[in-house]
Structure 1
């Protein structure tokens, strides 16, 4: 019983980080569409969308205990890093918030990967 409680707590932590990252990426992509120079924001918007999608997939795999979660987790870390780097280049508040959420997600994913 203690093992499943520890596992649930461990999973809840990573799932929370993934959820926050999804929300931040979706909000950032939407806000980027309203920026004055949308064309300049295209790489950011694309990475926001990719990051939100891989985080959703990763969360699903982790939540159901998939044997393939570790593989998806590696890709999630890579895309979250790229998204954090891209958003970090922009001074917009939504980009900075997204970059922070992505960095926190990378950290949570790395922690989870080390425990899984």
Structure 2
């Protein structure tokens, strides 16, 4: 790893991406999928952004900090949306998103 100070943020981003993908897949299996549409959209966006943030930090990109600021913003939005739902997968996702947002904000500071 080029920059060990990014390690906890990379781990939070990688975990968040997986949890968001799991949440989106689980939302698609809910009885009222239409009600979960915004959650699914944000899960997918968040997962993609988290993966890219982890990649940029792993390569010690000059763009990592700016990207992590955006990642934190999307993680907050995703966590807020998932927090509105009672499903366990949404609750786990909201928590992973909050943790990732905190790590990204700390990294980008």
TM class by shorter chain equals over 0.9
CA RMSD in angstroms comes to 1.4
Q: Which runs of 4+ in 1 moved over 3 A?
A: none
Higher helix share: 1
The superposition leaves residues 28-80 of structure 1 with CA deviations (integer Å, 9 ceiling, x where unpaired) of: 00000000100000000000000000001111111101111122111101100
- TM-score by length of structure 2 reads 0.95
Q: Which runs of 5+ in 2 are unaligned?
A: none
Q: Which residue of the partner structure matches residue 33 of structure 2?
A: 38
Number of equivalences: 109
Q: Which residue of the partner structure matches residue 64 of structure 1?
A: 59
Matches of 2:57 and 2:30, distance apart in 1: 35
Matches of 1:85 and 1:11, distance apart in 2: 25
Task: Output aligned runs, 1:41-56, within 5 Å.
Answer: 41-56=36-51
Q: Which runs of 5+ in 1 are unaligned?
A: none
Task: Output aligned runs, 1:35-114, within 5 Å.
Answer: 35-114=30-109
